[in-house]
Copies of this chain bind each other. A is one copy, B any other.
Amino acid sequence: MRDVAKLAGVSPMTVSRVVNDDPTVNEALRLRVLKAVDQLRYRPNMMASHFRRRDRRSFTIGFLMPDVANPFFAEVQRAVQELARAHNCDLLSATVDDDGEREKGVIDRLLGRRVEGLILISTTKDHGYLQADVMSGLAVVFLDQPPAFLAADSVVADNRKAAGRAVRHLMTGGHRRIAYLGYLQSAWTNQERYQGYCDALRTRWVPLDPRLVRQDLVTSEMAERATRELLAEENGPTAVFSAWSRSTIGAIKALRNAGRQDATALVGFDDFDAAGLLDPGVTVVAQDPAAFGRLGGEILFRRLGGDRSPMTQHVVRTSLVKRGSGEIPGPYAGPRRTEPRAPSMVFSNR
């Protein structure tokens, strides 16, 4: 900056003004400075300016998720990036792999970088350590899972209700023996979805059979194996409710390998790209990941804009997308009133 000032024959202060589009600078000087900037390839140092300016803005927000390679989270990141861009901020993004220690470490680093806000898809169970930072102006929004021991905004899906609706849909189709393929039991979303499953059984007076419940299926391979085992049991399930996308993939593979894909009903939580291309099409509870990101970003920047209203938990609605696999009738199906599943030429994907 000094060099630029020297070359343009002005004081550093004038250079600063030009760089920051201060309208009070003489047009002639402005041009001279800009020329010098160009000649010397001067690039203002954001770090330095951040750290001198009164408002302390860093124009950075942090984003944490379990895994960006999961298309759901990638979509969320995309939406968050869009919001950040609209507010002239850049995004520090990190994948933390359901590792609580790592998550805490990353958050610490980000705070050291003086991010203005944090958008967290966090799988841990205590966020109290952020209390002080929130008090002193840090904006934090939780997506997909609510915060624990911390008052902060969050955006979550209606997991329990949606799971319940999906399972009731299967029961309405004539099923009573419905398997549950779950994710980590420690995950809040999985707990909620499992509750929804239980709710649905209860409302129809179907007793819960623990042999039909498989939890902690963290890979599609594990879900495939679990489904294979379930199918091999005597008095196995006639329908499967899968609580997340990877387990849905595993279930599909197992059903196919057993030749049961047209006989066993399947509803999965979370939509996926090829759900509408498979045969039968896969019935899913579709979430809108972009909505998570967008809403989360909006709330975050509203807070940064000075909004001090009470913290909110925003619930985004999901929708049951019927594509065929969830409409395969079960043994208690009444007389058909409609086609049991959509004709196979129709492909809808979201």
Contact = CB atoms under 8 A, between A and B. Distances in A.
Interface string A95-134: 1000000000000111111100000000000000000100
Interface string A264-278: 000000001110011
Contact of A274 (B78, B85, B277): B277
Interface residues on A, range: 35 or more
A207 to B, nearest CB: 33
Interface stretch (A45-53, A140-148, A230-238, A318-326): A45-53
A71 B51 CA distance: 37
Nearest to A95: B81
Contacts of A328: none
Contact of A90 (B51, B81, B92, B252): B92
Contact of A71 (B58, B71, B112, B344): B71
A172 interface: no
A86 interface: no
Contacts of A82: 95
A317 B84 CA distance: 36
Nearest to A75: B69
Nearest to A289: B69
A46 B112 contact: yes
Given A71-B71, A278-B278, A257 B78 contact: no
Contacts of A111: 43
B90 A91 contact: no
A92 B95 contact: no
A253 B277 contact: yes
B345 A257 contact: yes
B41 A132 contact: yes
A111 B42 CA distance: 11
Contacts of A91: 92-94
A249 interface: yes
B41 A47 contact: no
A69 B58 contact: no
A278 B280 CA distance: 10
Contact of A68 (B68, B92, B252, B345): B68
A344 B253 CA distance: 11
A68 B58 contact: no
Contact of A45 (B41, B51, B252, B279): B51
A332 interface: no
A47 B114 contact: yes
B113 A46 contact: yes
A44 interface: yes
Contacts of A273: 71, 249, 272-274
Interface of A: 41, 43-48, 50-51, 58, 60, 67-69, 71, 74-75, 77-78, 81-82, 85, 90-95, 108-114, 132, 249, 252-253, 256-257, 259, 272-274, 277-279, 344-345, 347
24 contacts: A41-B132, A43-B108, A43-B111, A45-B51, A46-B112, A67-B78, A69-B74, A71-B74, A71-B273, A82-B95, A90-B92, A91-B93, A92-B93, A249-B273, A249-B274, A249-B277, A252-B277, A253-B277, A257-B347, A272-B274, A274-B274, A274-B277, A278-B278, A279-B279
Of all A-B residue pairs in the complex, the 5 with the closest CB atoms, nearest first, are A274-B274, A74-B74, A93-B93, A69-B78, A46-B112
